[in-house]
């Protein structure tokens, strides 16, 4: 028997340290829910999961961008609905003033309301905005970032009413009035042109809104699938880690008992000297 070096005790201490580390790691994984506590655990898995995390965060922001785009279109559609109502009233007044049963004095009274509504059309197109940006001014052209990359076709949607809605000249309304029968009759065509532009713009906005809502649905599915894939790589298996923790605890208790036994062995040598 050797007493200078207790190899059995050294072995027991090494095993005790090993199972202690295993128990600590298992408990840390259960506490954090993360399988990869450091890059040393799984370098490749960490790199892949971090890339996935970046994409997931980007997808969340893209979804917010799309929802902002839907809000923008809803505001634009609401303003166009008001313009349509104004156009209906303008046309009604133009029809009223186009008949010979109305004299010029009566036309002057009708024209006052007509001019007031024309100014409201101009004010409405100028004041309609989203987050400080005009949306019906005739220069309403925006790019909506709806993807997570930098592809102009796949990741951006263009909002442009400038080719449909001729709001720069107030739809030509500034050049018409209802002071005479002929000018009133001419006004009908101008108002009809305005209402046609408004109707086409509302149709385009409606189709664009449906497209954006479809993008949100597709993005939700992509986000769900990517989250599931990331979970398989990154998330800790709680049942497995719990089993490891319990096993390590039992091994620690057994190792402590073993250390007590092997550390007591050298003391038996003293009995030989008695």
Tell me the pLDDT tens digit for each residue of 155-206. 998 877 776 677 777 888 999 999 999 999 999 999 999 999 899 989 988 9
Domain boundaries, the chain: 43-234, 238-274
Q: Which of 191-195, 229-233, 266-270 has the highest mean predicted lDDT (pLDDT)?
A: 191-195
pLDDT at 271: 58
- Tell me how far the alpha carbon of residue 187 is from its chain's centroid: 46
Q: Please say if the pLDDT value at position 124 is more than 70.
A: yes
Residues 139 and 162: beta-carbon distance below 8 Å: yes
Mean pLDDT in the chain? 85
Fold of the domain spanning 43-234:
f41 fragment of flagellin, N-terminal domain (1.20.1330)
Give phi and psi for 220, each to the nearest 5. -65, -40
H or E segment to which residue 157 belongs: strand 156-160
Write the pLDDT tens digit of every residue in 87-119: 999 999 999 999 999 888 999 999 999 999 999
Closest CA to 193 of 90, 47, 269: 90
Cα–Cα distance for residue pair 253/237, rounded to 1 Å = 25
User: Is pLDDT larger for residue 138 or for residue 231?
Assistant: 231
State the burial class of residue 120 (Cβ atoms within 10 Å of its Cβ: 0-12, 13-18, 19+): middle
The average pLDDT across 30-53 equals: 86
pLDDT at 272: 54
Cα dist. 206→83, 106, 202, 259 in Å? 16, 40, 6, 78
State the burial class of residue 83 (Cβ atoms within 10 Å of its Cβ: 0-12, 13-18, 19+): buried
Cα–Cα distance for residue pair 81/22, rounded to 1 Å = 67
Cα–Cα distance for residue pair 23/96, rounded to 1 Å = 89
Give phi and psi for 271, each to the nearest 5. -65, -25
Cα–Cα distance for residue pair 191/173, rounded to 1 Å = 7
Q: Please say if the pLDDT value at position 77 is more than 70.
A: yes
pLDDT at 177: 93
Q: Name residue 235's beta-bridge partners.
A: 34
Q: Please say if the pLDDT value at position 35 is more than 90.
A: no
The Cβ of residue 25 has, within 10 Å, a number of other Cβ atoms equal to: 16
pTM over 0.85: no
Q: Which long-range contacts (CB under 8 A, 24 or more apart) does 4-7 make?
A: 6/262, 6/263, 6/265, 6/266
What is the DSSP secondary-structure string of 115-140? Answer: HHHHHHHHHHHHH-EETTEESSSS--
- Tell me how far the alpha carbon of residue 126 is from its chain's centroid: 29
Q: Please say if the pLDDT value at position 137 is more than 80.
A: no
User: Is pLDDT larger for residue 210 or for residue 1?
Assistant: 210
pLDDT at 142: 80
Cα–Cα distance for residue pair 154/134, rounded to 1 Å = 25
């Amino acid at each position: 028997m050797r007493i200078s070096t207790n190899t059995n005790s050294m072995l027991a201490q090494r095993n005790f340290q090993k199972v202690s580390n295993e128990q600590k790691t298992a408990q840390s994984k259960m506490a954090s829910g993360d399988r990869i506590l450091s890059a040393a655990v799984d370098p490749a898995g960490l790199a892949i999961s971090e890339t996935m995390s970046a994409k997931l965060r980007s997808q969340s922001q893209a979804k917010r961008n799309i929802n902002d785009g839907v809000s923008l279109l809803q505001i634009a559609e609401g303003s166009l609905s008001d313009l349509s109502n104004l156009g209906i009233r303008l046309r009604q007044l133009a029809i009223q003033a186009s008949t010979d049963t109305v004299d010029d004095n009566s036309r002057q009274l009708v024209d006052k309301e007509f001019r007031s509504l024309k100014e409201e059309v101009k004010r409405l197109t100028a004041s309609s905005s989203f987050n400080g940006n005009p949306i019906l001014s005739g220069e309403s052209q925006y790019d909506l970032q709806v993807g997570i990359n930098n592809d102009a076709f796949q990741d951006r949607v263009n909002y442009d009413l400038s080719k449909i809605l001729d709001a720069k000249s107030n739809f030509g309304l500034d050049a018409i009035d209802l002071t005479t029968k002929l000018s009133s009759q001419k006004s009908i065509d101008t108002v009809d042109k305005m209402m046609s532009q408004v109707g086409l713009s509302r149709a385009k906005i409606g189709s664009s809104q449906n497209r954006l809502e479809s993008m949100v649905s597709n993005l939700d599915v992509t986000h769900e699938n990517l989250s599931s894939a990331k979970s398989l790589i990154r998330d800790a298996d709680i049942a497995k880690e719990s089993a490891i923790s319990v096993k390590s605890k039992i091994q620690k208790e057994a190792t402590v008992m073993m250390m007590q036994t092997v550390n007591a062995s050298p003391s038996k040598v003293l009995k030989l000297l008695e």
